[in-house]
Amino acid sequence: MLDIQALRNDLAGVAERLATRGFVLDAARFQELEAQRKSIQTRTQESQAKRNSSSKLIGQAKAKGEDVSAIMAEVANLGDELKQLETRLSEVQHELNAFLAVIPNTPHGGVPIGKSEADNLEVRKVGNIPKFAFEVKDHVSIGEGLDGLDFDTAAKISGARFSLLKGPMARLHRALAQFMLDTHADQHGYTEVYVPYIVNADSMRGTGQLPKFEEDLFRVPRVMGEDGEQNFYLIPTAEVPVTNIVRDEIVPLEKLPMKFVAHTPCFRSEAGSYGRDTRGMIRQHQFDKVELVQIVHPEKSYEGLEELLGHAEVILQKLGLPYRVVKLCTGDMGFSAALTYDIEVWLPAQNTYREISSCSNFEAFQARRMQARFRNAQGKPELLHTLNGSGLAVGRTLVAVLENYQQADGSVMIPEVLRPYMGGMEKLSL
């Protein structure tokens, strides 16, 4: 959520910044709602003040045993008018909140202006693209050839966009997650957390998935009391449960920064991408991801983002996978982000780089929604900044390992750092 003060003070400026990411702010609507809110709120408060002071008089008079009927009569009519005003006020406030809840974050000044992926800025390329003396296969052919990937059975069990891993392939998938988790926890100073995979709507609102992107989520309906229906949701990323650790909290200054790493499955309905990446495990309804989250002091958030990005890169470097880092342009950034770096890994079969991590600074956007604060040096609560990034998407990392380490005979070499997790195995073969 944006700071409503920013909208009040500099509506045109905010609108301009939002326009760079393709969001048209209905400024007139905002002004109208604000004007309504202001006038109704003033009148309501005047009316409430009158009621309160009269009621106080009644209390005092009664305590002295005086006659009270005169004042009672005076206050009698206040009720209806006040109730109406209060109702109107809460309506307007709800409209205003709904209006604010769907406005994306304003991009940081360093974000390149652009419309799409094509306008992203390449920051650096790392590693050497492997050369193959034979015709490269994609991960599906490699995996099926090794009897490790089985999409047909997954489709029978569940449907499209699910995968089934078997034998050493399943173990390699687990090895990757373990390796990532260990690296971040032991070498990068993150606290490992195990979190719920099903969360409530408040948490989804906190990180910005709701109210705008419900169609991307898997909803778990629950029937509550009489009129009560309250949904749970499967997490689309560990960002949601992990960042919400600090929702409605006031963190002591000395506890900052907080760094968490979690390995979770992620569930996405992938509504709106029906035709894309239908083959293989690039785009699934269920995939595993190791996620890094930092909860930081506002002045440290960009420093933190560079650090976090570096931590994610280490994984690729240790795995010996070539990648590049791109800074997303305004038009390609997610709803809540102020600045995002994507890490893209080289996939030989696609002859291109594909996203394997996304590292963002949300500044106070999520913190404001979550009321996640810390106590500053003056002792006053202040909004935190939140950051997160994949470190990394496990399924896509497996794809990258299979494709980059494939051999002419259909086998796949196992990167050194993973071998301890594979019982010393050096290669996947039939």
Partner RNA sequence: GGAGAGGUGGCCGAGAGGUCGAAGGCACGCCCCUGCUAAGGGCGCAUACGAGCUUAAACUUGUAUCGAGGGUUCGAAUCCCUCCCUCUCCGCCA
* Contacting positions for RNA (CB under 7 A): 4-5, 8, 38, 41-42, 44-46, 48-49, 51-56, 58-60, 62-63, 72, 75-76, 78-79, 90, 224-228, 230, 250, 379-381
Selection from 184, 4, 18, 24 nearest residue 100 by Cα: 4
Residue nearer to RNA on the CB measure, 49 or 113: 49
Q: Is 283 a catalytic residue?
A: yes
Q: Is 51 a catalytic residue?
A: no
One of 355, 375, 382, 429 is an active-site residue; which one?
A: 355
Residue nearer to RNA on the CB measure, 28 or 63: 63
Q: How far apart are the first and last CA of the chain?
A: 53
Residue nearer to RNA on the CB measure, 48 or 411: 48
Q: Is 396 a catalytic residue?
A: yes
Query: CB–CB of 425/369 below 8 Å?
Result: no
| Minimum separation from the CB atom of position 1 to RNA (A) | 11
Query: What are the φ/ψ torsions at residue 328 (nearest 5 degrees)?
Result: -70, 145
Q: Is the alpha carbon torsion for 15, 16, 20, 22 positive or negative?
A: positive
One of 17, 171, 369, 396 is an active-site residue; which one?
A: 396
| Minimum separation from the CB atom of position 248 to RNA (A) | 9
- How does strand 352-361 pair with strand 258-267? unpaired
Residue nearer to RNA on the CB measure, 136 or 193: 193
| Minimum separation from the CB atom of position 244 to RNA (A) | 14
- How does strand 232-234 pair with strand 219-220? antiparallel
The alpha carbon of 18 is separated from its chain's Cα centroid by a whole number of angstroms, namely 19
One of 43, 88, 219, 283 is an active-site residue; which one?
A: 283
Residue 1 burial (10 A CB sphere; 0-12, 13-18, 19+): buried
Q: Is 363 a catalytic residue?
A: no
Question: How far is Cα 241 from Cα 247, in angstroms, rounded to an integer?
Answer: 10
| Minimum separation from the CB atom of position 212 to RNA (A) | 22
Residue nearer to RNA on the CB measure, 374 or 421: 374
Query: What are the φ/ψ torsions at residue 33 (nearest 5 degrees)?
Result: -60, -40
Question: How far is Cα 356 from Cα 322, in angstroms, rounded to an integer?
Answer: 12
Question: How far is Cα 174 from Cα 401, in angstroms, rounded to an integer?
Answer: 13
| Minimum separation from the CB atom of position 247 to RNA (A) | 13
Q: Is 174 a catalytic residue?
A: no
Residue nearer to RNA on the CB measure, 83 or 156: 83
Question: How far is Cα 60 from Cα 81, in angstroms, rounded to an integer?
Answer: 25
List residues with catalytic annotation.
268, 283, 355, 358, 396
